[in-house]
Structure 1
Amino acid sequence: MASERAAGSPLEMYVDLLPEIPKIYAYANGSGLPKSINLTIGMHAKKWKFHRDLPSSTVFAYGTSADTATFPGPTIEALQGVPFHVKWENHLPQSHILPWDPTIPTAIAKDGGVPAVVHLHGGIHEPQSDGSPLAWFTADYKDKGTSWSKATYTYPNVQHAGNLWYHDHALGLTRVNLLAGLLGAYVIHNPKVEAHWELPSGEDYDRQLVIVDRSFNTDGSIYMNATGNVPSIHPQWRPEYFGDAIVVNGKAWPFLNVQRRKYRFRILNASNARYFRLSLSNGLQFIVVGSDTSYLPAPVRTATILLAPAEIFDVIIDFSKSTTSEAELTNSAPYPYPNGTAADFPNSRVMKFLIANGTAMDPSRVPTALVGYPAATANDATVRRYITMYEYQTPDGEPTHLYINGKRFEDPVTETPKAGSTEVWEVINLTGDNHPLHIHLAEFQAIKVQEIVDLTTFRNCMTQLNDAVKCNISSHATGSTLAIPEYEKAWKNVVKIEPGYMTTVIVKFYLIDTDAPYPFDPTAQPGYVYHCHILDHEDNAMIRPLKLVK
């Protein structure tokens, strides 16, 4: 019998302490020097309690064992230059705990089981360790996708220090596998670079905040609508998932006791589709030091931060400046973003900080400068590509699927960058939604966001010709420009693509901090992918192959 859905709002806020996510170290210290290690991490079905007043929920979770698995998964702490070898094991049950739709391009196991594969988001690694959507596997590797090649992945950690995350990436099941809990944070450290900044550090003062939205049934199970918005075409798929409750580190609307000093929070939006425009109710500012896998050139102070799905911001909050004894972390982003329903109670609340009285010792500081990566310019670009985002609808305006460049995922590859090159991607958004663009392997940065004038004429032409040059994009991308926030001016793994605009993105296919080629063969099979990181869009099927060439 189906469970009755429980709205998020009846749950009392701020009754559960913010959990501290357990850590896994991706290295061992031997003879004073860090050494590479091999580790096994599994995917497990287990019970998880999201709120004091909710019964326990069945989730899928990462961990070195079922007992130690958590929602979100353990934070993996790595060192730059020290490779990490991890065997990913699937211990998931024969059937999924959430509804899924076989009418979209989907991994389907012929012998049952839940297909899964792990992608290190923001990682720079060989294609065989990238977690291709077609490299999925079931329990005991009984069934495998066409691109599966090995059980143990190698993450060389050759890139600069920064914040990443790992999550499931199985074809057509990414949205449901992440909704079930297959996600976790991953950090690459470089103590030689970072130590002298004296940023807040230690388990108490350097914390992960992994934010998701979820709805629950009264029996505690995760709720997902089992009926599609156009069930005659896709019985289950819907264009976006928005949950009633905001969950941070596995608890709905938690609280955290803080001292009057500086704290560092690495904030990841791991939601399927929800954007968060975060601010603090007592007026404190965020001091942003990093975005995705990169540090900023210098800290940026801002009252608000807009996080797209899959985006990470590394911030400092100085609670010594507070004039109040508590502060709510709030959300004001419409859903879908930017033209959807205004954020309202309870999804306008995220968590609460309870600020202690009195002064606290604080040896940390905010440096004046951080990392001077190469500037994002088109000067050395060898190729300019036009990437167009389409949404297809029924006559009455209901979405049925989304494509990039009008092509399916299984259509032949058209993006074949040369390893070691820089490219300019002109990303044209003909839909009504903002889309977080994620390009595997590459680091990239938006440098211009320009309005497309006479959008209807241009869209009609693109519907017919699917060719931006033939449709005279140079005459249409002439409208007003949007300022790129200072806190986004870094080499990123997710760039927001504004609806009705063309966003110019500089994409680099080499190590930006050392100007060096990748220390592996990036042209090997099965290649990489790029996609929208609204997971419901990615699954149906706003995703395309990316194949590097020599």
Structure 2
Amino acid sequence: MTNVGKLDFENPLNIPELVEPTVGPDGTKHFTLTMQTGTTEFLPGKKAETWGVNGSYLGPTVRVSRGDKVALDVVNNLPETSTLHWHGMKLPAVMDGGPHQMIEAGETWTPHWTIDQPSATTWYHPHLHGNTAQHVYRGLAGMFIIEDEDSKKLPSDYGVNDIPLIVQDKLFTSDGKLSENDDTTFGLLGDEILVNGTHDPFLKVTENQVRFRLLNGSNARAYNFGFADDRSFKLVANDAGLLQAPVTMDRFLLSPGERAEIVVEFEPGEETILHSYSSGAGIENGEFDLLKIVAADQLTESTPIAGQLSSVAPIEAPEGATVREFKMTMESMINDKKMDMYRIDEVVPAGTKEIWIINNFGWSHNFHIHNAAFRVLDVNDKQPAEYERGRKDTVYIPNGSTVRLAVEFGDYPDPNTPLMYHCHLLKHEDDGMMGQFLLVEPGTESQIPMELPKGGSEYQEHEQH
């Protein structure tokens, strides 16, 4: 599959709007996100039935600062149950938006918490067990940006020199509708690319340095990002926050759910194409042109990016930290078990740091942990690739690999509400490649039952998944 040489780059890149909050008397920022159906014209003259948030496809960008109190009215105007999960966020488990926080059709869910983590490009998407792939593919996703004093040292003028890029592959039928055929090992793989919901896109930049926030929002496809002219750029952030210092590179791989921030320099009048190169990494990525970028004839100059970026120390597990091992297999199981909504697989002290070892014995997968950030310690006993050494919450696990993580968990104990760890190839997740853990008060781990009560459960009707 490739689109190289087939695009004209005719369509201006859509920049998702910033959703404006109302501010309550106590300073809480209130946002409204409405999940809804609609139609979208991705291909000229052809309309597709889609889902979106506050619109027909994808959703607006939520932008907040560390220390903000936030509340979100999540309105479900879809014809069926869904959820909205805050991927990469540290917050109380009941506010996570995972499979236990379902929003029935016609209902509104109002999670609220205080933003207490370093600056990061996080995102939101559905997490309904058994239906996540379908709901994300139809268009329910958007960015959730956290700022702090460190991040404001980088280009931060949203839509001008701070550009979100949500990259997704799609399969279209002959009449321009979305095909939902996911009959492959990894899930749905499309032969057309959308960036922020725009097909065949171009972007005109007006500054000599531009920060791109890249999100792999695809169900299954990985992207090996680079530029068609092989220009180098500075990687400044991974999933869960800024790097200690910028790293100059010309390629990096993102599997589904992963994010990265890069700063790219431009000369007046030049053009380049953001490209995905074939990587041979063992996960489907192919060769694709993604976005044509055209620099204006006159560019605003900005201060070069150099020196320390983050004031947050790297994640280090203490001596004697708890070690947990997980086995991923081609049967979409973790530790030889499929997901069970009522089974607790692990109990973790809140606020702790642990070592998690992920062993992959079949196909290629990746691994995401809710309410946590981690540092990749090693891959098959070797240093991780340079682009994987910062704060992360999702990591690619090649077939036959062992990956060790130093994991830093959120400090929100709740003995009753589980959080998830899972493969973020969405078909694998829906097929049961997911486990549940509780964050509890340190010292109470042995008192916690390993099953949830079934009577009267709000999610009992979804047991078949």
Deviation at 1:372, TM superposition (A): 3.8
Q: Which structure's residues are more often strand, by fraction?
A: 2
1:286–1:315 contact (8 Å) kept in structure 2: yes
Q: Which amino acid aligns with 1:182?
A: L
> Which range moves more in the overlay, 278-287 or 537-546?
278-287
Deviation at 1:187, TM superposition (A): 0.4
1:120–1:166 contact (8 Å) kept in structure 2: yes
Corresponding position of 1:128: 94
The partner residue of 2:406 within 490, 503, 506 is: 506
Q: Does 1:391 align with 2:330?
A: yes
Q: Which amino acid aligns with 1:488?
A: E
Corresponding position of 2:378: 448
Deviation at 1:198, TM superposition (A): 4.8
Q: Distance in 2 between matches of 1:29 and 1:412?
A: 39
Corresponding position of 1:110: none
Helix, strand or coil for the counterpart of 1:257? strand
The partner residue of 2:306 within 363, 367, 371 is: 367
Deviation at 1:8, TM superposition (A): 7.0
Q: Does 1:44 align with 2:36?
A: yes
What is the TM-score of this pair, normalised by structure 2? 0.88
Helix, strand or coil for the counterpart of 1:504? strand
Q: Which runs of 5+ in 2 are unaligned?
A: 442-465
CA gap 1:199/1:367 in 2 versus in 1, 3 angstroms: farther
1:54–1:218 contact (8 Å) kept in structure 2: no
Corresponding position of 1:425: 356
Helix, strand or coil for the counterpart of 2:346? coil
CA deviations over 1:117-164 (Å, ceiling 9, x no partner): 0100011111111112133232124xxxxxxxx821113211111110
CA deviations over 1:478-518 (Å, ceiling 9, x no partner): xxx444122322221112222212111111124xxxxxxx3
Q: Does 1:73 align with 2:30?
A: no
CA gap 1:56/1:9 in 2 versus in 1, 3 angstroms: farther
Helix, strand or coil for the counterpart of 2:435? strand
Corresponding position of 1:156: 114
The partner residue of 1:21 within 6, 11, 16 is: 16
CA deviations over 1:248-276 (Å, ceiling 9, x no partner): 01111301122461111111110001100
CA deviations over 1:47-90 (Å, ceiling 9, x no partner): 11223x25121111011xxxxx1532100011211111112111
Corresponding position of 1:513: none
Corresponding position of 1:274: 221
The partner residue of 2:286 within 323, 336, 343 is: 343
Corresponding position of 2:135: 177
Helix, strand or coil for the counterpart of 1:371? coil
2:160–2:206 contact (8 Å) kept in structure 1: no
Helix, strand or coil for the counterpart of 1:13? coil
Corresponding position of 1:537: 428
Q: Which runs of 5+ in 1 are unaligned?
A: 1-6, 64-68, 94-113, 142-149, 230-237, 393-401, 451-480, 511-517
The partner residue of 1:35 within 27, 32, 35 is: 27
Deviation at 1:341, TM superposition (A): 6.2
Q: CA RMSD in A?
A: 2.4
The partner residue of 1:404 within 334, 337, 345 is: 334
- Map 1:36-435; keep pairs closer than 5 Å: 36-51=28-43, 53-63=44-54, 69-93=55-79, 114-141=80-107, 151-190=109-148, 192-195=149-152, 197-199=153-155, 201-225=157-181, 228=183, 239-259=186-206, 261-320=208-267, 325-333=270-278, 338-339=281-282, 343-344=286-287, 348-357=288-297, 359-392=298-331, 402-410=332-340, 412-433=343-364, 435=365
Deviation at 1:548, TM superposition (A): 1.6
1:198–1:365 contact (8 Å) kept in structure 2: no
Q: Distance in 1 between matches of 2:383 and 2:319?
A: 24
Q: Which has the larger radius of gyration?
A: 1
Q: Which amino acid aligns with 1:117?
A: T
Q: Which amino acid aligns with 1:62?
A: V
Corresponding position of 1:492: 392
Q: Distance in 1 between matches of 2:424 and 2:244?
A: 26
Helix, strand or coil for the counterpart of 1:404? coil
Q: Distance in 1 between matches of 2:402 and 2:21?
A: 40
Percent identical among aligned pairs is: 26
Deviation at 1:364, TM superposition (A): 3.6
1:117–1:170 contact (8 Å) kept in structure 2: yes
Q: Distance in 1 between matches of 2:6 and 2:46?
A: 12
Q: Which amino acid aligns with 2:264?
A: I
Q: Distance in 2 between matches of 1:544 and 1:436?
A: 14
Task: Flag as ranges the 4+ runs of structure 1 deviating above 6 A.
Answer: 7-11
Q: Distance in 2 between matches of 1:27 and 1:385?
A: 43
Q: Distance in 2 between matches of 1:187 and 1:437?
A: 22
Helix, strand or coil for the counterpart of 1:360? strand
Deviation at 1:10, TM superposition (A): 10
Q: Distance in 2 between matches of 1:549 and 1:218?
A: 52
